[in-house]
């Protein structure tokens, strides 16, 4: 995740989530038969779970880093305001 950055991984995960969500909803069709529809559904749910995990981990790290930056900016301003 560090090699590629968090935003590209989140973008790919969002695209994968959209595609797999569409497959979950419209993949199983009566014209395909039971087993092909079931396999499409199971694979789409697996991809949906993988993309959800990519979004949650990247989003948590990105949010905690942004929160840390704002906390330190505010903390440093308060310290320098008291000193000067």
Is 71 within a domain?
Answer: yes
- Whether 1 is in a domain gets the answer no
Q: For the chain, how many structural domains are there in total?
A: 1
- Tell me what percent of the residues of the chain surpass a pLDDT of 90: 23
Is pLDDT of 76 > 90?
A: no
Which residues, including other chains, have CB under 8 Å from residue 50's CB and lie 6 or more apart? 16
Q: Confirm if 52 and 12 have CB atoms less than 8 A apart.
A: no
How many of the other CB atoms lie within 10 Å of CB of 1? 11
User: pTM score > 0.75 for this model?
Assistant: no
Q: What is the domain range of residue 14?
A: 6-83
Question: What are the residue ranges of helices labelled H in 27-83?
Answer: 34-83
Q: Is the per-residue pLDDT at 68 higher than 50? A: yes
CA distance 62 to 7: 9
Render pLDDT for 34-52 as a digit per residue (tens, 0 to 9).
888 889 999 999 999 989 8
Residue 42 lies in a domain: yes
Residue 72 lies in a domain: yes
Distance (Å, rounded) from C-alpha 14 to C-alpha 44?
14
């Amino acid at each position: 995740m560090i090699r590629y950055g968090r935003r590209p991984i989140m973008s790919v995960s969002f695209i994968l989530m959209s595609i797999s969500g569409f497959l979950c909803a419209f993949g199983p069709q009566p014209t395909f038969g039971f087993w092909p529809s079931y396999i499409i559904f199971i694979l789409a749910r697996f991809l949906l779970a993988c993309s959800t995990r990519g979004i949650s981990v990247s989003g948590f790290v990105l949010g905690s880093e942004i929160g840390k930056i704002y906390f330190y900016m505010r903390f440093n301003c308060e310290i320098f305001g008291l000193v000067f």
